[in-house]
A = this chain, B = another copy of it.
Amino acid sequence: MELKSFSSCSVSTSEVAHVGRSYSTLISSFRHKVGVRFSTHFQCRRGLFLTTYCASDNTYLTDKAVISSVGQDNFAAETSSHRINGTNGSISRFYSTNLKLLDAFDDEYGGVVVHPDRLPSNPYTFASVLRLSLSQWKKMGKKGIWLKLPLDQSDLVPIAVKEGFQYHHAEPGYVMLTYWIPEGPSMLPANASHQVGVGGFVINDNNEVLVVQERHCSPTTLGLWKIPTGFILEAEEIYTGAVREVKEETGIDTEFVEVIAFRHAHNVAFEKSDLFFICMLRPLSSKIIVDDLEIAAAKWMPLVDFVEQPLIQEDSMFKKIVDIFIARLGKRYCGLSTHQVVSKFDGMVSSLYYNVIDNADNNCVGK
């Protein structure tokens, strides 16, 4: 058995670790207690190199190894034997490789975050090290394990799943897997649950509404003139997303006034939910330039013609939204304006949307 120590090291990561489903925001901290971002340097675990042997019966067998001083927990010296199942086809030879614990750091909720940039490149080594690491984390009483596997190391995915990991979420370049060690159901938080869309209601001084016809509309809405809509981009504000979508589809510059209503729907895409914010925007230009890719036509349409479209008049939801538009135009309605706020507890700048609460804040009646 080969035995080498490796020294402690510092790693920089923007990884996120979560434990516990509760949501500690507002009048406590607007930052999730379960979602602390680790953006500073962390000490990764000290570990030991161990020699592993891969047996010909499709099973990886680590040699009995003395493990001491693992991580900050200063484990007592002990003897461990780890058998790690292989995941591939028949293997015709023995091999050996150096084995240490996975590079990882503790989160502040009793969990462990594996460093995604320091994974073993060899699947056999990964299988052995993962098994050994899990064994250690269980002994240490750890809770949630976070394992982010980059796309170019997808061959490690089935190995992690075989060890009991589940998928948590994925982005194009990686999949995040988790393992909940304690008895009982996982207390790890769910992944993102909603898509967010915006619609821009733009009306000019001639009482004309900016409307579009889309290239790829459903047959039931064929011929309908509608307001520009779209998804907001990653980390984009609702108010900038609405302005951007109007600009992209019609070429019209606008400024955000208010969110006048929003709609919540479920099981829309990938079984996820959808929040759609209907925004009032003020036009800053008038010349329409159509986005040919998405939009078949765009124009300024007299409000009365827009409202009287049969598809709007015959649909209770569409009609209600148009009623809100008209009430807003008649200053009988006031939506939610946006305000940048900072909390000293987390230092984050965020957008708070609320109604008029005093004269000084009133951006509704006068516009």
Contact = CB atoms under 8 A, between A and B. Distances in A.
Copies of this chain, count: 2
A151 B169 contact: no
Contacts of A139: none
B352 A320 contact: yes
A24 B229 contact: yes
Given A189-B269, A317-B343, A197 B167 contact: no
A158 B158 CA distance: 8
A166 interface: yes
A282 interface: no
A348 interface: yes
Contacts of A297: none
Given A92-B92, A166-B173, A191-B270, A28 B217 contact: yes
Interface residues of A, number: 126
A32 interface: yes
B314 A344 contact: yes
Contacts of A91: 89
Contacts of A34: 269
Given A27-B318, A167-B172, A169-B169, 6 more contacts: A24-B218, A30-B265, A33-B217, A191-B270, A192-B195, A193-B234
Interface of A: 14, 16, 18, 20-35, 37, 87-92, 109, 151-152, 154-155, 157-158, 161-162, 166-176, 189-197, 199, 211, 214, 216-218, 220-221, 224-227, 229-232, 234-235, 237-238, 260-276, 278, 294, 312, 314-318, 320-321, 323-324, 327, 332-336, 339, 341-345, 348, 350-358
Closest 3 CB pairs of A and B: A27-B226, A35-B269, A167-B170
